[in-house]
Structures are given as structure tokens and as C-alpha cells.
Chain A
Amino acid sequence: AQSVTQPDIHITVSEGASLELRCNYSYGATPYLFWYVQSPGQGLQLLLKYFSGDTLVQGIKGFEAEFKRSQSSFNLRKPSVHWSDAAEYFCAVGAYNTDKLIFGTGTRLQVFP
């Protein structure tokens, strides 16, 4: 069965530091992969997505993610974190042959000044 694992429940970084949030998936074929962000009290907003092609994808707010098939990973990165990036981040994979998304359990990012 398809699944998504986000191994880090909570990450704390200083403003200006680099960031990497981990995501591993279990999927039998080429996956459709997504990263969403949820600010406090809000719904989810799409940061970026990977369907095919270039394995390094650029998203909004200066985020990027790299698809690595050999590691079954789709890690999210940002070179310099801003205080406004504090939020919860969810990785998701498109379920096979349906339009449903399977979400990871999320990583809460805290940013210190």
C-alpha cells in the first residue's frame, strides 16, 4: 500500500539558516508528489509538486524539493529560512489510479530570531 513518512515531527531552526524537511514514500510506480504548508489556523497551501521530468522542482516562497527514486525520497529545502516560514509542512503522494492524496503526519517548523 502507498504511504508517506515524515520522520521529523518537530524541527527548530534559526532565522537565516538552511532547512531540509524529509519525506519518504512507498509507491510501486512513478509517484506524483506534493508538499503543502499549513500556517496556524489555516488550510493547506501547495508549495510545489513533482509529476515527471526534472527531479529538482522549484516552488513558491523560495522552496525547492528533489525527487530521488533510489532513496524513495522527496525532501523539501530552503537555503535561508524566514520567521514567516514557521508552519506545519505536509508531504503527500497521489494514490495509484485515483485522485486521492495520501498525506504524511506532518513536520512542525519553528523559527527562532
Chain B
Amino acid sequence: DVKVTQSSRYLVKRTGEKVFLECVQDMDHENMFWYRQDPGLGLRLIYFSYDVKMKEKGDIPEGYSVSREKKERFSLILESASTNQTSMYLCASSSGTANTEAFFGQGTRLTVV
């Protein structure tokens, strides 16, 4: 069974902390994504990676960075967490074939206090 695993379901962090959200996929997919989900706004793409060490900004990259050192792992980094980054974060992966379906992790609900 295919799987995208996010390391934490719930996180509570303090303002100004550096936060790491980890995502691992076991499908040998080329593409990996980080989305942010907020009520009424749907899913917004933060960053996208189409290969190891390759990344591309999404629609809302400000305040975030990413790391992809290995094909199966894609990390989202909040350099200095702020309260407006309180949200649900969803990781996804897809194969390199154009527009195949994306597989999602269960999400990490991050609260910044």
C-alpha cells in the first residue's frame, strides 16, 4: 500500500522557534509537495520539488524553506515561526509522469503560540 508519512500529527511551537516538518514517501516518486490548508482558502502550494536537491516556489513561499537531500524525504522549514503560520500542513507526492494523481499524508496541524 502506497504511503506518505508525516512525522507529526500535531505540533505546538513558540513564536520565533525554528520548526521542521518532515515527510517521507515510499513510492519512489520524483515529485513532492508541501501545501498549507486553511478554512475557506483550500490548499495553497508552498513549495514543490521535482528531484533531489531541486525545488520550486509555490504560491505562498514567504517564511518557509524546504530541503530534499534524499528522494524519499521532503522537509518543510519555518525559519522563525509566527502565529500566522498556525495551520494544517499537507505533504504530497506524485510520479514524474505529467499530471498523475498526488498521494497525500495525513497532515500536521501546527499551532504557533
Asked whether, in the complex, the Cβ of A103 is within 8 Å of the Cβ of B42, the reply is yes
Asked whether, in the complex, the Cβ of A105 is within 8 Å of the Cβ of B101, the reply is no
Q: How far is the CA of A29 from the CA of B78 in the complex (A)?
A: 36
Interface membership of chain B positions 22-42, coded 1 if the CB is closer than 8 angstroms to chain A and 0 otherwise = 000000000101010000111
Asked whether, in the complex, the Cβ of B107 is within 8 Å of the Cβ of A42, the reply is yes
Query: Which residues between 93 and 113 of chain B lie within 8 Å of chain A, taking CB atoms?
Result: 94, 96, 98-107
Asked whether, in the complex, the Cβ of B107 is within 8 Å of the Cβ of A105, the reply is no
A-side interface residues, number (CB < 8 Å): 23
Asked whether, in the complex, the Cβ of B90 is within 8 Å of the Cβ of A43, the reply is yes
Please tell me which one of the listed residues B33, B42, B90, B106 contacts residue A105 in the complex, with CB atoms under 8 A apart.
Answer: B42
B-side interface residues, number (CB < 8 Å): 27
Of A12-20, A45-53, A72-80, the one contacting chain B is A45-53
B48 interfacial contact with A, CB 8 Å: yes
CB neighbours (8 Å) of A46 from chain B are 101-103
Q: How far is the CA of A98 from the CA of B33 in the complex (A)?
A: 12
Complex: chain B residue closest to A32, CB-CB:
B99
Query: Which residues between 36 and 58 of chain B lie within 8 Å of chain A, taking CB atoms?
Result: 40-45, 48, 50, 58
A9 interfacial contact with B, CB 8 Å: yes
Given A43-B4, A51-B99, A99-B96, does the pair A90, B106 have CB atoms closer than 8 Å?
no
CB neighbours (8 Å) of A98 from chain B are 48
Q: How far is the CA of A57 from the CA of B107 in the complex (A)?
A: 28
Complex: chain B residue closest to A102, CB-CB:
B45
Query: Which residues between 53 and 94 of chain A lie within 8 Å of chain B, taking CB atoms?
Result: 90, 94
Asked whether, in the complex, the Cβ of B104 is within 8 Å of the Cβ of A45, the reply is yes
Given A9-B40, A105-B42, A106-B42, does the pair A43, B105 have CB atoms closer than 8 Å?
yes
Pick the 6 closest A-B CB pairs, nearest first.
Answer: A94-B99, A43-B104, A105-B42, A32-B99, A103-B43, A44-B104
14 A-B pairs with C-beta separation under 8 A: A9-B40, A43-B106, A44-B92, A90-B43, A94-B98, A99-B96, A100-B45, A100-B48, A100-B58, A103-B35, A103-B42, A103-B43, A105-B40, A105-B42
